Amino acid sequence: MTYNKMELMIICASRLLENGRLVTVGTGAPCAATMLAQKLHAPDLVMFFEAGGVAPQLPTMPISVGDSRTYYRGLMATSMCDIMETCQRGLMDYAFLGGAQIDPHGNLNSTIIGTDYHRPKVRLPGSGGACDLASFCWRVITLMNHDPRRFVPKLDFLTTPGYLSGPGAREAAGLPSGTGPYRVVTDLAILGYHEETKRMEVVSLHPGVALEQVRQQTGFPLGVREPLEQTPAPTDQELHLLRTEVDPHRYLIGRA
């Protein structure tokens, strides 16, 4: 069965989520990935929405974190304060984030493009809750398209902390030890971080993608984890559930 890049990214992200874990999601691809994981291999995955929905049984994909569907048959209809407190208490296993730029240590920019904060080339939405989630959740998964304008050696603005300047920097800034970036899922590969240097490295190449292609689309040198893996292609079951139950109106995955 054929598939497109967005379908591949959502499916790859869903495979990273384990049963029984707690995950904070936004709308769009992160929500689709979590819904797919619940339907396939993680039925007891607990989904949190920033606006306060906890463990809803989503009938269809919500259009915002405050959509009424994010509370449907949920365990709690609470507030943003409670969601962030759950993260601060060290209870949140995963958080999904995105951004306009990412650097070798997983730091993210979602504030401006350009060097002048007051007169940027592009003004972006800003942090929202991303800085809080990246600071306190155990593992951060980033979803973004792979091109050198996004994968940059230095951010135009540091919105959200990854490993900051490298080993020990998060802890020196007062962030909990053991937390931080985990995976970056792109349309070309799955990336992780070297255990000692905390720099980004290629973990798995998607079907039909060469390592040199990934390096050409990255604005900084990439390490390679050995053995370098090959991302399994989406299965018919994964694609069927994604298309018929998770995103039947194809808001994310596009028209057939």
Residues forming the active site: 50
**Of residues 126, 127, 94, 107, the one with CA closest to residue 25:** 94
Q: Where are the beta strands (DSSP E) in the chain?
A: 22-25, 46-49, 53-54, 76-77, 94-97, 101-102, 108-109, 112-113, 122-123, 139-143, 181-185, 189-193, 200-205, 223-230
Contact 184, 206 (CB under 8 A): no
- The whole-angstrom separation of Cα 241 and Cα 244 is 5
Give ∠ CA 2-185-53 in degrees, rounded to 5.
100
Radius of gyration, alpha carbons of the chain: 18
Output the DSSP codes for 133-195: HHHH-SEEEEE----TTTB-SS-SS--B-SSTTSTTHHHHTTPPTT-SEEEEE-SSEEEEE-T
Cα–Cα distances (Å) from 154 to 14, 151, 168, in that order, read: 29, 9, 19
Give Cβ neighbours of residue 245 (< 8 Å, ≥ 6 apart). 35, 39
81: left (phi over 0), alpha (psi -120 to 50) or beta: alpha
